Structure 1
Amino acid sequence: MKIDKPSNSPPAGLMNETSARTPSAKSSPAAQEPGTSVSLGSTASQLSKMEASMSNTPVIDANKVAQIKQAISEGRFQVNSGVIADRLIQSVRDLISSQA
């Protein structure tokens, strides 16, 4: 198994998600009508600040990837199949209960 160096760009799914959330001046009715003002409140302002700070956070922890890569190459990486199985089962349970 070969693990290449991580790229600095986020996965394509995240890129589309980010661009889908970016507001467009054309789609905003307030942008088309002069004299109209909109106030979203402090919660929207806080969310906007949080989103801006999170956009600078890398999606991938490069140090963790390097540690795992080193462990694999040295034969020290061990997979705990019991934990993986338990988490897969829990994930399926969560999906089933969210659809019910």
Structure 2
Amino acid sequence: MKINNLPDKPAGAATGAGKPADRLPAANTQRNEAAGDAGVTVSLSATSQTISASVARAGGDVFNAQKVQAIKSAIENGTFTINSEAIADKLLSNARDMLGVAAK
């Protein structure tokens, strides 16, 4: 595919090229101007709501300063070991959980 290959359609015909205000119907433009800074309504998908609820249920901080300091000290002392099998198991478990939530 060449970069310079352009469709035979005039610019803006199907792609909506041009200024954003040019693409809005007149009624929407007037309503948006009248609304001012009224805000935008946002709704979360069921998956996002489920994830947010599970994070809220977990409670507490995700960051544990004492644990971070212990790991930092172990790294400095050369005694820090990594259990790659435990990390792999947790990654697979999290992936299964996420896919299960997304499939529902």
Q: TM class, shorter-chain normalised?
A: 0.3 to 0.5
The structure with the largest alpha-carbon Rg is 2
The structure showing larger relative contact order (alpha-carbon pairs under 8 Å, at least 6 residues apart) is 1
* TM-score of the pair, normalised by structure 1: 0.40
* TM-score of the pair, normalised by structure 2: 0.38
